[in-house]
Each structure stands twice: as C-alpha cells, then as structure tokens.
Chain A
Amino acid sequence: MRSPRKVDARSKINGSHKFIDDYIFPDMIYGYLYYARCHHGYIRKITFPEEFDLKNFIIIDYKDIPGRNIVPEPEPDQPFLVENEVYHYGQIIMGIAHPNKAILKQFVEKIEIEYEELTALTDIKECLEDESNAFGREIIIDQRQSLEPRSEWIKTSAVYYTAHQEQAYLETQGMIAIYNQDQRSIYVLGTMQCPYFVKEAVEMIMGDKITEVVIETAEGIGGAFGGKEDFPNILAGVASLLAYKAEKPVKIVLERSDDIVITTKRHPSRVEIETYTDPVTNKIRKLKIDYRLDAGGYLTLSPVVLSRGVLHSFGGYNIRDVFIHGRLLRSNTPSNGAFRGFGAPQAFFAIESHIDKIAGDLKIDPLELRMKNILQKDDRMPTTQIIREDHILDCLNRVIEKSDYKQKYIEFQEYNQHHDNKKGIGISICFHGGGYTGNGEKVLQSKVKMTIEKDAAVNIYVANTDMGQGAHTTLAQMVSETLDHPLNKTRVVIPNTSKTPNSGPTVASRTIYIIGNLLCDLSLQIKKEIQGNLDEYVRSHNTLFPKEYSRCFTPDPTVVFDDKTYLGTGYKDYSWAACVCEVFYQTSIFKLDLKKIWTVLDIGIPVNPKIAEGQVEGGLLQAMGYALTEYFYKPDFGRMHGFTDYILPTTLDTPEMDIEFIHTDSDFAKGLGEIPMNYPAPAIRNAFHHATGIFIDEIPLTPERIYENIKGKS
C-alpha cells in the first residue's frame, strides 16, 4: 500500500485549479434562480420593478419550457419551475439572466410576488408525528417469530430525533450552459456528482428543440457530500433554457445565502424503537422499529434514502425477532436529498442510542450489552443475509483496547462524583453497505473505458467525478498498480458525456468499490493481452495503438434481493466500524465538547492509505458537527443566512483523532466515503449520557437543547 500524492493538489493549493466560477466564455451573461418566498400557496401576481427595461433581461418561467416540466431523476415528481402551486419555500419559479451581475441582483431583489397562502407544514416534528402525512413508498421488513414476550423480559422503548443537516460544500452550486444554434446542441459545464443525471434533465426540459446534450464537469468540484447529486439537475435545466432563449452562454453560480435556502439537506428523522431484553442472558429478544423521514416537498431521492435507512436501522446486532416499518412524510420545506450516509446516520443514531438506553435499564455497561448481542461470524441480519466474518466484533475489540475504554468508564464515574464539570465516554458500532442498494447495481450496468495511446499513456474514462474525495488519483493508482505502469502516465479524464461512458453516479460509496474494482478487472484483461511491460508492448506493436478497451459491470449471480419483502442480500459487501468518544461537559454553561475519538474501520484494503485517512478525518468532523452544533434553528430556512448562523466545526473545535484500518476478509477496497459519517453522533450522545446521567434522545446537543432538557426534567 502506497500513498502517492494527489494529481490535483498543487494547482488546488496555489489557486490555479479551475472551479465553475473561474470559467469565462465570450458574450457570457449571468443567470439567477428566482425562488418562492412562500411555504405553500398559489402565485397570484408577479410585479417586475418599473425602473428596469425588461427587454434587457432574459426571463423564463414554466410556460417557456419546450420539453416537459419534470425533473427526471431520481423520482420524477418535481417540476423544474413552479406552474401555479408553490409547495415549499425556495422552490424555483423563474430563471432570469442579464449581462451585468450587479444589475441582475438589483433587479431580482425588487421583484414582488403576491401569493394566496395555503396551510403549510413547516414544523418538522409536527410533520414527523402525524402519520397522515405519509407520502410515497413504505417499506416493511417482517421477521417476527411469534415470540410472546415473557413477563421477566425488560421492555425498553423510546423515540429518537435528528434534524436537518446542510452539506456546506465550500463551493456553492454552479453551472454554465451554452446553446449552439447551428448544431441545435447544448453544452453544460458545472459542479456535479452525476453527469448523466444532468444530461437526462437537460434533455427533458429542452424536448425536441435540441438534438444533442453534452455535460462536462469543471476541472475542480469544490465539495459535494451528496448535495450535488440531484440539485444540479434543476440548475442545469434552467441554465440551459436561459442559454437557449438568450442564445448566449449563461452562468449561474449561487450565492451562499441562496444555496443554503434552496438546495437539498439531510432528512430529519423520527425513529421509534421498542425492544424486549432477557435480563438473565442480556440478549435482546425482540426489536421493533418505526423509521420515519421527512422527505420535504417532493419525493426526489427520498425513496432510496428510505431503503438504505431501513436496511441499516437494525444495527450490528444479532436479533431474530424483528419488525421494521419505514415511511416517508411530507412537509412544506425544500426536498431533502443525498448527504453522506444517506439515511444511515439517522438509523445508527437511533439504534446506538437505544442500546445505551437498554443498558441503563439493565444497569450494565453498554459495552457488555453490545458484546452479548453483536453480529458475529455465521450470524444473520434480519434481512437473512449471513455474515461471513467477525468484522464488527474485531473493530469493537480493537477500539476498546486502544482507547482504554474499560478503565476510563470507571475512572470518569469516580471523577464526576467530585467535580462540577463532567467527563464521559461512549461507544457506537456500525456498518455501511457499498454501492447501490439491493438490485441497484444490476440495473445501473456501469460501463468504464480506457484508451492506450501511441506513447503508452493510459487514459481512463469514467463518469464518476472527483469532488475532493481523491477518486481520480485513487482510480488512476488502481489502474497503474494493476498494469504495472507509471502513475504519471495513467490519468482519469475529466468526465464529459460525449466521450465518457455511463459508469453511474458518484454516490453510495461506489466509486472505488464498484468502478475502481471494475477498472482493475479491465486492467487485468489488458495485462493478459500484452503479457509483459506495457511501454515495451506499445513500442513493438505501435500500429495497434491508440486502442480502446471497455468493460461493463457484471453482477454476481449469487446476490439476490427481494424488492417486495426486503429480504436477501441488501448489499454484497459491507464496511464496518466501531468508535469510542471521550467528551468533556462544562456544567455551568451547558457546553459539550468532543475531546478525542478513536475509530477502527474495516474497509477492505485501502488503496491510498493517506487519502483514506483523510476521508475518515473529514467524515468524523462532519459527524461531530451533526452531533453538537449544526442546526437550522429556524424552521423557515429563508431567514438562515449561511455560515454565520449555521455553525460548522472550525480548527479550534477539532478533537484528537485516532484512526486505524483493519481488514477482516476481503482483499479488495470496499466502500469508504460515507461510513465515517454514520456513527460518531450516537457515541458522543452516549458519552454525554455517561458523563451526566442525562438521557437526551435528540441531536444536535447544543447548549440550548441540553439546558431545555435539564430544565424540563427538574
């Protein structure tokens, strides 16, 4: 395992790397997404400011759409532009463009819209409590074993809540669209995770007015974390239509204060868990989960987030009698979408908090309860999938040893008896399925392509973008190592749909695990053909080159998943992790700080250990923000401003981190991107519980929330 340097680091540091806002095209004009300032209602009247000459502006609304007013991916239920009824604050009504950014801004600030307001549901808790808001798909996993609870079994039930979380990619959303009248084509350059989703969106909105759409990503993508999975579809659609009407290149780059209001966030959740535990054996005998997510105004990605959430909701435990009910609810807030973890952080917050609650009821150390129930070799998940190794047990044992958990658990209890400020330590364990859920990868049929040039340069064509995760370095490294070819002659070409095949979206921890391993298969095939050194082979067979190679994903026929019962192999391979968090609580100001986090992960073989570590470090800190500070304290996002009132972790908040990779079975790279986000939040919550004896069923644990809990209970 080597950690070569990243291919794009130097240009990113000195600022010469180009992000979408750094591109300028001749005659380019600037666009703006004009959005609703109403939670629910009908548009009655739009008044443009009189002091501007409307002829100088390009303005489009739904009536200008030549194709269909429906965003095709992921769930086709959301319009590009409001037709009549506004369903949530921040919904896009018009696209407006002008050659001068400053004039455009003055103009849009003075537009007035009269709404006929309708009843709106913006209180998320209210939305999640009321089952009549159920919306779209429902999932049931029924593995009840007709087991009657015995009278001596301990019943533990609780409801857990998590809030919205903002991806807060440092680069806001942005696209440039260019219409070519002669070729009737549209070219879109932008910051995105899924070029082929964007392509479908532009084709849908433009209909038969164009014959070709080409999507390319900017050289740099300034972070995404899921936030650039589906919103770019709308943005690219509107930018394309503006460019078509203007017959000029149109650039739309959102300001932060708009981005935070109108783009997708992590789904708020309400998860109710009921368990029965045998106090003699400390075995959990029955588990019932009611898992609910607030989808927001439209379904979009929510059904697939729900799938993943439900398939992770039972946690890493061997429980035979299980009933899980997963539902989506609808509110008048922006549609929630993808964010690193994708339903799993909500699931693990609930189950891992609940394990500590049961331990409290049984009056035992939460570690002991976990050890008694943890998934081990040959155990079955509630979906009937059999676990082949002691993955999660090995992670837990190692992290307990490294963190000196057992000693500290007792020591801190002692310390807390004699001090006003408190120390606490908490555990969580988790897993994350790599790739699309269930039969998803079979349906996607991802394709990859490589070309070998006359000078033996290897070009890799995949639709997966490098949004900071280092994918283009890691993928090139995988090919270079498999082919025994220098890394500086192996590179990933910036995704462009006119030459890059559809290797699926850059999501679901699938880039290295699915696409990287597919590229390794293709490299092995090439290696077999050349039988030796690639440079020499190309030199001696020069007339054969340049040559193109490609390969399509072949699903493993033994992997079977039933979409109706949700039984079978939810994911072919899982990554596993355990962590211990140490916290310090300042009683007088209700402030909780994470001091140190130890984590041990099984992600198979990390390709580039430093890049892998960086992924974990960043994920842990995002999870800490989720647990402690990140919160939309106003249900009306419209009054949130950006980074002044949405509190992201800074250098001063960063805890000590101790990260270790172990590997239990697979000799290849498994999913990594998302798992570090899944589990620190409940461990921090559990550590707070250990420190103070106060059981809070909700995050983030802001001083305000802690104060309210203490006040409410006294």
Chain B
Amino acid sequence: MKISFNINGRNVKLDVDPMRRLLDVLRDDLELTDIKESCGEGECGACTIILDDKPVTSCILNAVHADGKKILTANGISKTRIGEILLDCFDQTNSVQCGFCFPGFYVTAYHYLITDGEPSLEKIRYALSGNICRCTGYKKIFESVIMACERLQEGS
C-alpha cells in the first residue's frame, strides 16, 4: 500500500505493508534511529512520537496509521526553539543517565510544554506517566521539565 506522511518537516512517500509496525517502518526503512524500541507493547514510551497533535507509542501502531499525518520525533523537536530550551534543561540538571528512554521523554515533555506548560509537579508527573525510566528515579526529569516551563514563561 502507498502511504505518505510528513516527518520532521519532510514529506515521505512509501510503498509498505500497511500492517507493519509504524516503529519498524520509521527505524528500518527511514533509518530514524532516534526512536527507540524497549518493551514493544506500548508500556514504556521509549518509541514515543507526536502523531498530528498527540504523543503516541509507535510500537503498537501500524504503518497505515501514519498515512496523511504529520509526525514529529526527538530529532525534529531538537531543532525547534522550545525543543532547544527543553534539551538544555535536561542537560543542565544532569538528569540523563543511560539515555535510552530519553528521546521518548523528550517528545512527551515537549508535547506537555506546547499544550500546557504550567510548571506544576503534579501535572508533569501525570503527563510523563506513560514513559518509563529505569535509571533516574525521575526526580531530575521533573526538575528539568519544571525548569523548562519556567524559562518559557519568563521568555514569553
């Protein structure tokens, strides 16, 4: 089946088995290795992308779900102004450990920043609850996202 979508600002046309996992199409066919696979069953959020306006786990979607949509991944986000601010906050707190879950956290936290952005610990905990990190204990991730919310509020 022929599908087309826009990924990180680039238009893509592909001829694929529509039932293949979207994650495999992005990683294997388009070599977008900033999307990670960990659990493969939608539990951990390592493969999170923004599909149109929602953060979703690409390991439990089929390729056909992307047809006609706009996709944003960690790599695309890092090239935006808000993405750079968020990246700098994660970096400044030394929150990153093994980093395997981080592109997923980055995508989800970016989505929170552009849709809500209130520096509220409770809201951020809830927003990030679909992403699992085994290294950090989450504390510095919370601090980073709060810091990014505050920087954006100061800047606007």
Contacts and interface: CB of A to CB of B under 8 A. Distances in A.
Determine the interface band of chain B, counting residues with CB < 8 A from chain A: 35 or more
B153 interface: no
Interface core residue of A21, A225, A468, A657 (most chain B CB under 10 Å): A468
A13 B131 contact: no
Interface in B104-156: 106, 124-126, 128-129, 131-142
Nearest to B128: A651
B40 A12 contact: no
A256 B38 CA distance: 7
Interface core residue of A8, A619, A652 (most chain B CB under 10 Å): A652
Contact of A14 (B75, B126, B133): B75
A19 interface: yes
B99 A256 contact: no
Interface in B72-89: 73-75, 77-78, 87
Given A168-B134, A648-B132, A651-B125, A222 B98 contact: yes
A5 B73 CA distance: 24
B40 A618 contact: no
A608 B100 CA distance: 22
Interface stretch (A51-59, A425-433, A511-519, A638-646): A638-646
Interface residues of A, number: 59
Interface core residue of B99, B102, B132 (most chain A CB under 10 Å): B99
Interface in A1-55: 3, 5-6, 8-10, 12-19, 21-22, 24
A172 interface: yes
Contact of A621 (B92, B98, B99, B137): B137
Contact of A12 (B93, B96, B141): B96
Interface core residue of B31, B43, B90 (most chain A CB under 10 Å): B43
B98 A169 contact: yes
A614 interface: yes
B56 interface: no
A607 to B, nearest CB: 12
A672 to B, nearest CB: 13
The secondary-structure label for the interface of chain B is: loop
A614 B134 CA distance: 12
A221 B98 contact: yes
B92 A614 contact: no
A257 B90 CA distance: 30
A203 to B, nearest CB: 28
Contacts of B129: 650-652
Contact of A614 (B46, B78, B99, B136): B136
Interface in A227-281: 255-257
Nearest to B122: A652
B90 A621 contact: no
A613 B37 CA distance: 27
Contacts of B78: 13-15
B94 A223 contact: no
Interface in B13-64: 28, 31, 33-41, 43-44, 46
A207 B21 CA distance: 40
Contacts of A616: 137
A67 B136 CA distance: 41
Contacts of A618: 97, 134-137
Contact of B99 (A224, A468, A613): A468
Given A223-B134, A618-B97, A14 B92 contact: no
A204 to B, nearest CB: 29
A248 B46 CA distance: 30
A19 B36 contact: yes
Interface core residue of A16, A256, A610, A651 (most chain B CB under 10 Å): A651
Interface string A621-644: 110000000000000000001111
B71 interface: no
Contact of A608 (B77, B94, B103): B94
A470 B97 contact: yes
A611 B94 contact: yes
A16 B34 contact: yes
B66 interface: no
Interface string A516-541: 00000000000000000000000000
Nearest to B105: A13
A9 B135 contact: no
B120 to A, nearest CB: 13
A223 B103 CA distance: 15
A686 to B, nearest CB: 21
Nearest to B141: A651
B134 A225 contact: yes
A337 to B, nearest CB: 17
A351 interface: no
A171 interface: yes
A64 interface: no
A5 B144 CA distance: 13
A386 B93 CA distance: 39
Interface of A: 3, 5-6, 8-10, 12-19, 21-22, 24, 101, 167-172, 220-225, 255-257, 467-470, 608, 610-611, 613-614, 616-622, 641-644, 648, 650-652, 654, 657
21 contacts: A9-B94, A9-B99, A14-B87, A15-B35, A15-B102, A168-B134, A172-B38, A222-B36, A222-B38, A222-B98, A469-B97, A613-B140, A616-B137, A618-B137, A641-B41, A642-B40, A642-B43, A643-B43, A644-B43, A651-B129, A651-B131
Given A18-B33, A220-B98, A651-B125, 19 more contacts: A5-B92, A6-B96, A12-B98, A12-B103, A13-B87, A14-B77, A14-B87, A15-B33, A15-B34, A15-B103, A19-B100, A170-B98, A225-B134, A611-B94, A616-B137, A617-B140, A648-B132, A648-B134, A657-B139
User: Which 3 pairs show the lowest CB-CB distances between chains A and B?
Assistant: A15-B34, A12-B99, A468-B98
